[in-house]
Structure 1
Amino acid sequence: MAEHTIKKIGVFTSGGDAPGMNAAIRAVVRTANYYGIECYGIREGYNGLIHGHFTKMGPRSVSNIINLGGTILKSARSEDFRTPEGRKMAYEQCQKHEINALVCIGGDGTFKGAKVFNEEYGIQTICIPGTIDNDIFGTDTTIGYDTALNTAMEAIDKIRDTATSHNRVFFVEVMGRDAGFIALNSGIATGAVDILIPEQKDSINDLFDTFRKSAKRGKNSSVVVVAEGEELGNVYELAKKTKEEFPAYDIRITILGHIQRGGSPTCGDRVLASRLGYGAVTGLMEGRTNVMAGIRSNQLVYTTIEEAIKKHNTINKDLLQISEILAL
């Protein structure tokens, strides 16, 4: 490891929580300790940065948190940090506590704040992608995605039992405001008859054709997985239109909601978070700044925050084809 000048770093979580954030905090704190760097936890994201909610952390501060969902540092969205005055206060707090660098764990909103802060005040920053949506460019998966996906899959499996028992049609809404990764993959994994996502231009007639084809093949129950950001409509609108077209259908609606954000992280998310936490600290030590640590093709990589914000992970076209074929 090259000689480094980082003496004190701050770590915080911002935006929506994601399973595995605690594992990332743990990795940052313990990696910093290993290399003789003081580490401070900042509570409630950018709000804590502004108001000086700093707590010195060591190896024992993060004992027994790798298995916990949520974030021990709490999370919040900060309107004050969007203003020059708020960012100035945050910089003054960094100076007061002699913080040389920041590790920012969150999604694209967190990244945008880190980028502006770095450009205005030169504070060395590295971001870690923590969001269940998996829409951040520069990493194959984001922290929390695998856990949320498995939570959705387990819930839909249970719903399928009821759908089959009563010959019902279920519309199941999963999270994914702008991205359909959870919907597409959980839909494939649970044998959904149709999957509606923002990236795919769906029509109501396509959905009706799917039901007609299913009926011809002898299917008497169905599960349709819908991403919350689907432009065709929400689950209530889709269910209403389907009932009008197929009056005999016994239709039910389930919205999984924030259950997908909680719970103990999977092994995949714990290992990913550990690698990215380590990569953030070692990246700072190498002099990197205004970048995001990610994993691509199982290798630690760094992507500029600007690129991570401007681009988005794209849906695998093969998966769309697979979902149609396997739903026969």
Structure 2
Amino acid sequence: MTQIKNIGLYTSGGDAPGMNAAIRAVVRSALYYDIEVTGILRGYEGMVRNDMFKMNRKSVSNIVQRGGTILKTARCDAFRTPEGRKLAYDNLKKNNIDALVAIGGDGTFTGAKIFGHEYDIPIVGLPGTIDNDLMGTDFTIGYDTAINTVVNAVDKIRDTAESHDRLFIVEVMGRDSGLIALRTGIAAGAEAILIPENKNGMAGLLDRLENGRKDKTSRIVIAAEGDDAGGAFEIGRIVTERFPHYDTRVSILGHIQRGGKPTCMDRVLASRVGVAAVEALRDGHRNEMIGVIHNEISYTPFEHAIKHDHEISNNFLKIVEILSL
């Protein structure tokens, strides 16, 4: 059992619904084990600027249901330099912090991996990103809330699409990963889904519009922002040019996908991995992400958790093709 006395806790990168539930779980489980918690504001920027404060039970009261992150988040160019990381480490020592819990995604864990190798401080991470693009966990904190937000929005868009016999191109987040688009497209009954992992998405959409049913009163196309065609407006331009008889509209959902109250699934996931993070530090784990695979807590080294090319199941794409008839 490793003697941890003071955990530094921070969120970094893009915010995700459920981060506050994870913060709450880390703080309360640490206090349960008689470990102090120091909150670090704005992630790595707070480390470099020594922007830290002691946390207690009251610090995390009434936040489990709130979106965003009470610890704030920011990018930090200084931390990318050896001098910045040295300053961050010195500030951690000034605050008697002897372990870290990082909540974030690919960029957060990249920084944690480098920092953990340079300095002798145990770090574990919690997967907080709406993109669900980390290895070592079935789902990331925020993903379930984000896809439910998208489905609710698309359901509303379909109402007006049917009223006016329109074709809507709906762009969702996912610069490098199409997992949001893939699941929400199936759930919303999309005509087609365009994602970065499938380089034939645009050709498939044009073929569907050319040879598919002509009696549909509305058509919804879901496109990840990193799709192969160059974005929703470019897709709309191509479709309009090729099929001028369609009344085509573009809707970009944007940052509404990051906000809102976390779903029950995200709150439970955040709570589970938050408690597991504290227990992992006590058991001597370091430089690992805490996730859940097949409903069991898992531990994945940062270098393996950081974004890899995900293979999109052809079964999902086949489902879209079958159900769009």
Normalising to structure 2: TM-score of the pair? 0.98
The Cα of 1:312 is off from its aligned counterpart by: 4.7
Are 1:246 and 2:243 matched, yes or no? Answer: yes
The equivalent of 1:322 in structure 2 is 319
The equivalent of 2:257 in structure 1 is 260
SS in 1 for 2:2: coil
The Cα of 1:30 is off from its aligned counterpart by: 0.2
Are 1:276 and 2:278 matched, yes or no? Answer: no
Kindly tell me the number of residue pairs found equivalent between the two proteins.
Answer: 325
The equivalent of 1:159 in structure 2 is 157
**Once superposed, what is the RMSD of the aligned Cα atoms?**
1.1
Residue 101 of structure 2: which of 94, 100, 103 is its match?
A: 103
Residue pair 1:134, 1:313 contacting (<8 A) in 2 also: no
Structure 1 74/257 Cα, relative in aligned 2: closer, same or farther at 3 Å? same
The Cα of 1:317 is off from its aligned counterpart by: 2.4
Residue 301 of structure 1: which of 298, 302, 311 is its match?
A: 298
Structure 2 counterpart of 1:66, which letter? Answer: V
Residue 231 of structure 1: which of 218, 228, 235 is its match?
A: 228
Gaps of at least 5 residues in structure 2 are none
Offset from partner CA, 1:221-257 (integer Å, 9 cap, x none): 2000000010222111111111111111111110000
Query: Which structure 2 residues correspond to residues 1-328 of structure 1 after superposition, within 5 A?
Result: 3-202=1-200, 204-216=202-214, 218-309=215-306, 311-328=308-325
Structure 1 counterpart of 2:261, which letter? Answer: S
The Cα of 1:266 is off from its aligned counterpart by: 0.3
Structure 1 77/317 Cα, relative in aligned 2: closer, same or farther at 3 Å? same
Structure 2 counterpart of 1:276, which letter? Answer: V
The Cα of 1:215 is off from its aligned counterpart by: 3.1
Offset from partner CA, 1:254-280 (integer Å, 9 cap, x none): 000000000000000000000111111
4+ residue segments displaced more than 2 Å? 203-206, 212-216, 310-317
The Cα of 1:208 is off from its aligned counterpart by: 1.4
SS in 2 for 1:271: helix
The Cα of 1:292 is off from its aligned counterpart by: 0.3
SS in 2 for 1:215: coil
| CA distance in structure 2 between the partners assigned to 1:43 and 1:312 by the alignment | 31
Structure 1 counterpart of 2:254, which letter? Answer: G
SS in 2 for 1:232: coil
Structure 2 counterpart of 1:326, which letter? Answer: L
Residue pair 1:43, 1:73 contacting (<8 A) in 2 also: yes
- Indicate the percent of aligned positions where both proteins have the same amino acid: 58
Gaps of at least 5 residues in structure 1 are none
Offset from partner CA, 1:77-109 (integer Å, 9 cap, x none): 110000000000001011111111000000110
Structure 1 112/66 Cα, relative in aligned 2: closer, same or farther at 3 Å? same
| CA distance in structure 1 between the partners assigned to 2:271 and 2:309 by the alignment | 23
The Cα of 1:58 is off from its aligned counterpart by: 1.1
The Cα of 1:316 is off from its aligned counterpart by: 2.6
Bigger drift between 229-238 and 31-40 goes to 229-238
| CA distance in structure 2 between the partners assigned to 1:201 and 1:162 by the alignment | 30
Structure 1 counterpart of 2:305, which letter? Answer: A
The Cα of 1:51 is off from its aligned counterpart by: 1.3
